[in-house]
Amino acid sequence: MKKIYLKLRKTVTPTVIVICGVLILLSLFAANLFFFEFGSDDSGYAITPVLIILLLSIIGIVLCLWLRRRIVRNDPVMGRFVGERMSLGPVGTNKSQRKFGFMTIRWLIMLISFFGLIYGVKWLGQGFGNIEIPIFACPINQDQLIDSSCYTLSHLNSLVGMSWSEIGIFFGSLLLSIVVLGRFICGFLCPMGLLQDLTHETRQGLKIEGLSLNEKLYQRLKPIKWMMLLLFLGLGFVGGNFCNICPAITVSPALAGFKVSLFLSGFFMIVVIIGSFFKRRFFCNICPLGYLIGLGHRISLFRIKKDCQACTECGACYEACPMGIKTIYTEREKSDVTTADCIMCGECIDKCPENKALAMSFGGVKFYSASRKTFMSGHKKTERKLKRFIRKRDKNESDL
């Protein structure tokens, strides 16, 4: 029995520990269910359950960290080296040394889009009534419905009652969004994307080690993506409502101050916050809307290009990619390395040390390319150390 117990402990990985933390949170959530059921006649703002979600997420993260430390430290095998690894800072460039550039612009666009979609949509709804917004923006509430392709896609059965012109507008705006923006929406405009990036930055700022999925785990996500897509498109037909389980509903309508029921979506939001704290863009890896847009990537104007001659196969792009896209590193022939999973975040280009090995283009025009200079600007200290090392080594060699 003791042998089995020890064997079990040896196989415990931080991933399993995170799942345990989520399960504990589930029981916490079950005990507090009533907090999330805001009735339609409730006069309170939905910001209250949002704050509870935030609080429960923090408790969940602390629990996960505590469990990870405790189990890993007591583990005779893992504790030997993981204890040291956990004290290490985040691997990557030194952000304080980076200059204003593509990544700063991305953060600015994400912030503008966040407030624009949440408060702008609220204002538009009050001013113009029913309007169609391509892809993103949840309908705020039933009295003040702002339609979006996302909402219609998750309620495909509603197409039956629509006129031909309305159906045309819906499919037209969807197609236009896929062609003009594609998954640029995920990397730059989605409010869920900003929230996940903020939780990731918080972890990095606290110098806590995250989790990285290996290739096998990324492969296993594929059936989950299809399952989510099926749920997203099909739930409406069997009398369900995907919005009831979508974590995004806790962001835009709730933060805008409208009354919504955060029942299951509230719980999934807690899972998303904990997940994205440990794994960057956790939800984007299984988001059905993002995947659906990604499936149309061949007709999208945003592309990731690779110069296979300039690439030195260092693998830094794969390491940096929050979506675990390996072809960006392994591709040796094709110049177009855009895939359905690519959210156009530009992290691979930012971390690529070879001039013009990777680039982002729009309509064939490259507007952001990998640059050694930009890459090295984040490694000034490392560069100085390296120079000192080379000088010392050369001196030693000449002395011999």
- State the nearest-atom distance from the C-beta of 193 to ligand SF4, in Å: 11
Residue among 56 and 328 whose Cβ is closer to ligand SF4: 328
Beta strands in the chain (DSSP E): 132-133, 147-148, 302-306, 358-362, 365-369
**Beta bridge partners of residue 361, listed in sequence order:** 303, 366
Instruction: For residue 266, state whether it binds ligand SF4 (rule: CB under 6 A).
Output: no
Q: Is residue 185 within the footprint of ligand SF4 (CB under 6 A)? A: no
The number of beta carbons lying within 10 Å of the beta carbon of residue 330 is 11
From the CB of 325, what's the least distance to ligand SF4, in Å? 4
| CA dihedral angle for residue 137, residue 139, residue 141, residue 143, rounded to 10 degrees | 130
Task: Please choose, from the candidates 105, 81, 91, the residue with its C-alpha nearest in 3D space to the C-alpha of residue 319.
Answer: 91
Does residue 346 interact with ligand SF4 by CB under 6 A? yes
CA distances to 41, 48, 122, 251, 323 from 118, in Å? 22, 17, 6, 8, 26
Complex with ligand SF4: residue 197 or 354, whichever CB lies closer:
354
Residue 199 neighbours by CB under 8 Å, 6+ apart: 273, 276, 277
Nearer to ligand SF4, 282 or 329 (CB): 329
Give the whole-angstrom CA distance, residue 275 versus residue 289: 19
42 vs 336, beta carbon nearer ligand SF4: 336
User: Is 288 or 346 the residue whose CB approaches ligand SF4 more closely?
Assistant: 346
Site string for ligand SF4, 302-341 (x = CB under 6 A): --x------xxxxxxx--xx-x-x--xx------------
Whether the Cβ atoms of residue 141 and residue 260 lie closer than 8 Å to each other: yes
Q: Which is nearer to ligand SF4, 134 or 346 (CB)?
A: 346
Tell whether residue 357 is a contact of ligand SF4 (CB under 6 A). yes
Q: Using the rule CB under 6 A, is 103 a contact of ligand SF4? A: no
345 is a contact residue toward ligand SF4 (CB under 6 A):
yes
The contact set with ligand SF4 (CB under 6 A) reads: 304, 311-317, 320-321, 323, 325, 328-329, 342-348, 352, 354, 357-358, 370
